[in-house]
């Protein structure tokens, strides 16, 4: 019986991985591009700190939660960053810490290409005590499982004042975990991210911002986020989003000041597996520590 519960839970984790749980799956990805593309580090041109938290499938016991913190320090041509992610789903906890570096190339007076790399560690822990086991007589597992691996990734971010395009893979090295767990493998599949967005000036006080992000994971279905935000008078941002075959979302953000930006998103999950939950909730806070831009690549505060 215990073996059955473990297999069922591993299957559940497999479903979660389709939705991108190895790396952050954020509805408001447009405000945290650096977590999946190191080429974006420093593009905003300010020393900044970002905090983000996401709770999925509210009301479902053991549902995934993700928290991350990102710090960026831009220079004239280069930039440094630090990104830390804590991801939990029932007995499985994943923690990632990456140092990031990006270098900017000026392709023309208005077009720039930023190339980035991240390197760090990935920790995966499976706590068997958090599983609801009915038959405690079987001793399939004796100890919890805790593994640490090295992680490296690359990314490129091409942008101007009105548009951007990015491609990245945050985990070039593939690892396998839980080799002694029913001979099952929790393989970290390589994630490939493609993203793009555009600014459409509707009026002097309103800017429409469509964007798309596509996740490609070998042997798994392609996942895509389509977003449409409207920025009102450089202060209020409202938007709608759709995650392919997964969820519909409402987004709202406020520029409290030139330094402080906060946002919230609510997802209606469409999967039949989670019809009894109360949706997914996501909040973020970004604080620009420096008031003035200190990077030649900074273009416009409207877009990012």
Domain boundaries, the chain: 2-288
Q: What is the pLDDT of residue 81?
A: 97
pTM of the model: 0.82
Mean pLDDT of 167-192: 65
Which range, 123-127, 140-144, 220-224, 274-278, is most confident? 220-224
Q: Are 87 and 94 in contact (CB under 8 A)?
A: yes
Phi, psi of 63 (to 5 degrees): -65, 155
Q: Could you tell me the end-to-end alpha-carbon distance of the chain, in angstroms, rounded to an integer?
A: 51
Instruction: Tell me: pLDDT of 203 over 70.
Output: yes
Q: Domain 2-288 belongs to what topology?
A: Porin (2.40.160)
Q: pLDDT for 47-92, tens place per residue?
A: 999 999 999 887 777 788 999 999 999 998 999 999 999 998 888 8
- d(CA 145, CA 126) in angstroms, rounded, equals 5
Q: Count Cβ atoms below 10 Å from residue 106 Cβ, excluding itself.
A: 12
* pLDDT tier for residue 183 given thresholds of 50, 70 and 90: very low
Give percent of the chain above pLDDT 70: 75
- d(CA 280, CA 241) in angstroms, rounded, equals 13
Q: What is the pLDDT of residue 172?
A: 82
Q: Are 131 and 159 in contact (CB under 8 A)?
A: no
Q: What is the pLDDT of residue 182?
A: 43
């Amino acid at each position: 019986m215990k073996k059955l519960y473990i297999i069922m839970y591993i299957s559940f984790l497999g479903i979660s991985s389709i939705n991108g749980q190895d790396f952050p799956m954020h509805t408001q990805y447009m405000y945290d591009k650096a977590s999946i593309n190191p080429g974006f580090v420093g593009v905003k041109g300010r020393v900044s700190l970002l905090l983000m938290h996401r709770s999925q499938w509210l009301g479902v016991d053991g549902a995934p939660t993700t928290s991350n913190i990102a710090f960026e320090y831009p220079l004239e041509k280069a930039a440094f960053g630090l990104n830390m992610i804590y991801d939990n789903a029932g007995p499985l906890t994943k923690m990632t810490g990456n140092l990031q570096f990006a270098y900017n190339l000026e392709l023309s007076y208005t077009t720039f290409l930023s190339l980035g790399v991240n390197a760090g560690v990935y920790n995966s822990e499976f706590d068997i005590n958090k599983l609801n086991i009915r038959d405690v007589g079987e001793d399939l597992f004796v100890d919890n499982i805790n593994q640490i691996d090295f992680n490296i990734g690359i990314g490129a971010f091409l942008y101007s004042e009105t548009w951007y395009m990015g491609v990245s893979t945050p985990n070039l090295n593939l690892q396998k975990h839980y080799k002694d767990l029913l001979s099952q493998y929790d393989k970290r599949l390589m994630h490939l991210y493609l993203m793009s967005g555009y600014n459409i000036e509707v009026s002097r006080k309103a800017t429409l911002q469509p964007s798309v992000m596509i996740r490609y994971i070998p042997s798994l279905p392609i996942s895509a986020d389509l977003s449409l935000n409207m920025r009102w008078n450089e202060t209020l941002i409202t938007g709608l989003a759709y995650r392919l075959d997964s969820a519909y979302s409402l987004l709202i953000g406020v520029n409290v000041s030139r330094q402080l930006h906060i946002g919230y998103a609510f997802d209606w999950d469409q999967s039949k597996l989670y019809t009894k939950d109360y949706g997914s909730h996501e909040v973020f806070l970004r604080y620009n520590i420096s008031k003035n831009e200190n990077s030649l690549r900074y273009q416009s505060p409207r877009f990012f």
